[in-house]
């Protein structure tokens, strides 16, 4: 979240996300909500149907208050808290029509972002006790990148670059188009501002050695086997010490993530944290 705050105002992002969500759902008006008397005030609760890590309370709340500022929400948990099945997450009080209109958009944000935080926490817990950190990627839902990257931090993970503008990641196609590892890295150093990191992706230990010889300080080891990762870490620590950040990526699952961490890599990036998501089961019910 700290990195996101440095690049963007998260409050503005929440407002924009919520405005788009409400606009696409409501259109010219909520026809079904007209069944409810306009002066009716009710209370509702949101309950989780499964164990999860809560995330997205600000987005949820903004969906309701955007339609009726007088709506009040009392939270019993905060973002990044672990919640258990059948626990009440919050109580909502206000105009019934506005609450019903905001319900789906609010729950969509809360279910999605809690799912990202929950999945991230599973990976973080799986490598507990190692010196490796879990990081996200740019494989996010269009329009919701900052929200999902915030959710990753609530799950205990760290953010990689936010977008193409705040970091240089030289991948296979960049290397081919630039004419090789050395010219790609050389040009990257020429154009990068002091606060922009430069990372290069390699697919073999030989390419790793070439990249470090060319001055790389941050290397992405793409789709390396466990044996190749161990060889890469051993060679790097012997010849370059701890100054090189090694990141593993590709085909990382909950079943193998600890083995990957135990090879000694500094970071593990996982696109599935934000891409392969099954929403947390939440429900809102009037009291």
Catalytic site positions: 104, 139, 171, 201, 222
- Tokens representing residue 95 in the block: 């105009």
Strand ranges in the chain using DSSP code E only, listed in sequence order: 41-48, 52-53, 72-75, 82-83, 88-95, 133-135, 167-170, 197-202, 218-222, 245-249, 267-269, 282-286
Task: Output the CA–CA distances (angstroms, integers) from residue 98 to 29, 56, 89, in the order listed.
Answer: 11, 19, 20
Cβ neighbours for 137, distance < 8 A, ≥ 6 positions apart: 160, 249, 269, 270, 271, 273, 274, 275
> Cα 262 to chain center, whole Å?
23
């Amino acid at each position: 979240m700290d990195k996101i705050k440095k690049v963007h105002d998260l409050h503005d992002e929440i407002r924009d996300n919520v405005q788009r969500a409400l606009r696409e759902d409501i259109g010219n008006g909520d026809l079904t909500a007209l069944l409810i008397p306009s002066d009716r005030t009710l209370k509702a609760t949101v309950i989780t149907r499964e164990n999860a890590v809560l995330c997205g309370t600000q987005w949820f709340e903004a969906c309701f208050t955007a339609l009726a500022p007088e709506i009040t929400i009392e939270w019993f948990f905060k973002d990044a808290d672990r919640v258990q099945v059948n626990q009440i997450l919050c109580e909502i009080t206000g105009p019934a029509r506005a609450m019903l209109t905001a319900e789906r958009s609010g729950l969509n944000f809360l279910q999605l972002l809690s799912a990202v935080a929950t999945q991230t926490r599973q990976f973080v817990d799986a490598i507990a006790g190692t010196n490796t950190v879990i990081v996200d990627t740019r494989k996010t839902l269009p329009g919701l990148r900052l929200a999902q990257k915030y959710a990753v931090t609530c799950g205990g993970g760290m953010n990689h670059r936010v977008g193409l503008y705040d970091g240089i990641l030289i991948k296979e196609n960049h290397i081919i188009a630039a004419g090789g590892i050395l010219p790609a890295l050389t040009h990257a150093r020429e154009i990068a501002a002091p606060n922009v990191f430069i990372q290069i992706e390699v697919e073999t230990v030989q390419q790793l050695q070439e990249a470090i010889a060319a001055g790389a300080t941050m290397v992405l080891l793409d789709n390396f086997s466990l044996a190749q990762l161990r060889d890469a870490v051993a060679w790097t620590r012997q010849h370059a010490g701890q100054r090189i950040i090694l990141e593993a990526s590709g085909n990382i699952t909950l079943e193998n993530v600890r083995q990957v961490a135990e090879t000694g890599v500094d970071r593990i990036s996982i696109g599935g944290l934000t891409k392969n998501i099954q929403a947390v089961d939440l429900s809102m019910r009037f009291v």
